[in-house]
């Protein structure tokens, strides 16, 4: 465990009253270039992992410490595997080699690529992890973007159907040169999902795990729903609306997360795969549903599709709801939220 994590955990322990038998435990940390939060209700019934040496009388604060460390480690593990910024990541390996040959990948990444492909197909390509073939030419910190001629040149490499997945061999192969993939629109939701199931397996019944705009919930907040705020898209510290939720996941995609403005035009991190330009039909999309991976990818998808097409897609999917903020800052709710 890194020194930083140890220090943070020590701090957390001091925040907890000694010998308390049941209480909320909260912790936040940075991972995947964003802030992650974990909060859960810990009581005597919580069985922290199957450890044969597990002292039955393991102290309350130690249980909290182990669970938080496990959540952190899981988030960092997924980041190491899927980050485009780490040369050693499995994702970087794919981007280096998959255009030249079939690359053997882990079952875990294989399944996530399969899910991404499914969402691409159901969204008619609005969600497309090969957006990165052009997406990597944007640098929001340095306020640089590809020229129109670079976009035109790279546009044929945005094509999710050119990702060939072979289940028996567990391989990925790009059938078009110049393809790059990026999981920024789905990996945080997946990480939230993994951490929630880790907490659930340890016996936790009430929990919140978030990574940036992706939040997953276990149960309620002890008799009350959790209240998840959707950020005001143009006022950093304000909330546009609070949504009461239990046992569900919510993901928000906004044009305010990573962007720069040039000649009055906002260039931000959600790219329309058909144009290679930022999507500008709406300013914020939140999607609610059971599966954190799906709600993450769907919020990005609906953002690209915009109000009319995006809401039509959500209204066709019985398991998902959406809240969209349009360019005039008006809120729109999917059918299931209107009752």
What are the tokens at 331? 């809120």
Query: Are residues 189 and 249 in contact, defined by beta-carbon separation less than 8 angstroms?
Result: yes
Binding residues for ligand AMP restricted to 184-213, rule: CB under 6 A: 184-185, 213
- Choice between 76 and 136, CB closer to ligand AMP: 136
Q: Tell me how far CA of residue 174 lies from CA of 161, 257, 275, in angstroms.
A: 9, 30, 21
- DSSP per-residue letters across 115-138: HHHHHHHHTTTSS-GGGHHHHTT-
Of 135, 185, 212, 306, the one binding Mg ion by CB under 5 A? 185
* Shorter beta-carbon distance to Mg ion: residue 68 or 187: 187
Is 268 near ligand AMP (CB under 6 A)?
no
By CB under 5 A, the count of residues binding Mg ion is 5
Closest of 213, 220, 214 to residue 195, by C-alpha: 214
Q: 3-state DSSP call for residue 60?
A: helix
Tokens representing residue 165 in the block: 């997945």
Nearest distance in Å: CB 322, ligand AMP: 13
Residue 194 touches which of ligand AMP, Mg ion, none (Cβ within 5-8 Å per kind): none
β partners of residue 226: 245
Which of 141/224 has CB closer to ligand AMP?
141
The closest of 2, 320, 271 to 137, measured between CA atoms, is 271
What residue is closest to ligand AMP based on CB?
184
**CA distance linking residue 160 with residue 14, whole number of Å:** 49
Q: Is 291 one of the binding residues for ligand AMP (CB under 6 A)? A: no
Judged by CB under 6 A, the residue of 27, 60, 269, 305 near ligand AMP is: 269
Closest approach, Cβ 150 to ligand AMP, in A, equals 17
Contacts of residue 97, defined as CB under 8 A and 6 or more positions apart, other chains included, come to: 103
Residues 24-53 that bind ligand AMP (CB under 6 A): none
Q: Candidates 72, 74, 79, 182: give the one binding ligand AMP (CB under 6 A).
A: 182
- Least Cα distance to 315 among 330, 329, 331, 335 occurs for 335
* Number of residues lying near ligand AMP (CB under 6 A): 19
Query: Contact between 145 and ligand AMP (CB under 6 A)?
Result: no
**Subset of 250-309 contacting Mg ion (CB under 5 A):** 253, 296, 299-300
Assigned token pair, 34: 């964003």
| Phi, psi for residue 160 in degrees, rounded to 5 | -65, -20
How near is the Cβ of 294 to Mg ion at its closest, in Å?
10
**Binding-site ranges for ligand AMP (CB under 6 A):** 127-129, 131, 135, 182, 184-185, 213, 253, 257, 269-271, 273, 296, 299-300, 304
């Amino acid at each position: 465990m890194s020194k930083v994590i140890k220090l943070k955990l020590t701090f957390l322990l001091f925040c907890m009253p000694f010998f308390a038998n049941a209480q909320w435990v909260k912790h936040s940390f940075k991972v995947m270039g964003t802030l992650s939060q974990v909060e859960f209700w810990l009581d005597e019934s919580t069985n922290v992992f199957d450890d044969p040496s597990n002292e039955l009388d393991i102290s309350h604060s130690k249980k909290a410490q182990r669970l938080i460390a496990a959540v952190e480690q899981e988030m960092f593990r997924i980041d190491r595997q899927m980050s485009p910024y780490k040369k050693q990541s499995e994702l970087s390996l794919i981007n280096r080699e998959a255009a030249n040959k079939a690359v053997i990948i882990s079952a875990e990444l294989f399944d996530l690529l399969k899910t991404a492909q499914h969402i691409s197909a159901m969204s008619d390509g609005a969600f497309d992890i090969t957006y990165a073939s052009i997406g990597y030419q944007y640098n929001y910190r340095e306020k640089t973007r590809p020229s129109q001629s670079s976009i035109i040149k790279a546009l044929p490499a945005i094509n999710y159907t050119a990702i060939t997945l072979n289940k028996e061999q567990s391989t990925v192969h790009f059938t078009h040169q110049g393809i790059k993939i990026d999981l920024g629109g789905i990996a945080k939701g997946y990480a939230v999902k993994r951490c929630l199931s880790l907490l659930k397996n340890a016996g936790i019944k009430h929990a919140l795990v978030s990574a940036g705009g992706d939040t997953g919930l276990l149960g309620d907040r002890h008799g009350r729903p959790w209240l998840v705020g959707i950020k005001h898209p143009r006022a950093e510290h304000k909330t546009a609306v609070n949504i009461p939720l239990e046992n569900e996941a919510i993901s928000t995609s906004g044009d305010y997360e990573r962007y720069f403005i040039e000649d009055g035009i906002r260039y931000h991190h959600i790219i329309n795969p058909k144009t290679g330009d930022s999507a500008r039909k709406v300013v914020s999309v939140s999607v609610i549903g059971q599966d954190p991976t799906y709600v993450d990818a769907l919020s990005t998808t609906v953002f690209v599709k915009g109000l009319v097409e995006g809401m039509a897609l959500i209204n066709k999917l019985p398991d998902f709801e959406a809240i969209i903020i349009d360019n005039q800052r008006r809120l729109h709710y999917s059918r299931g939220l209107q009752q």
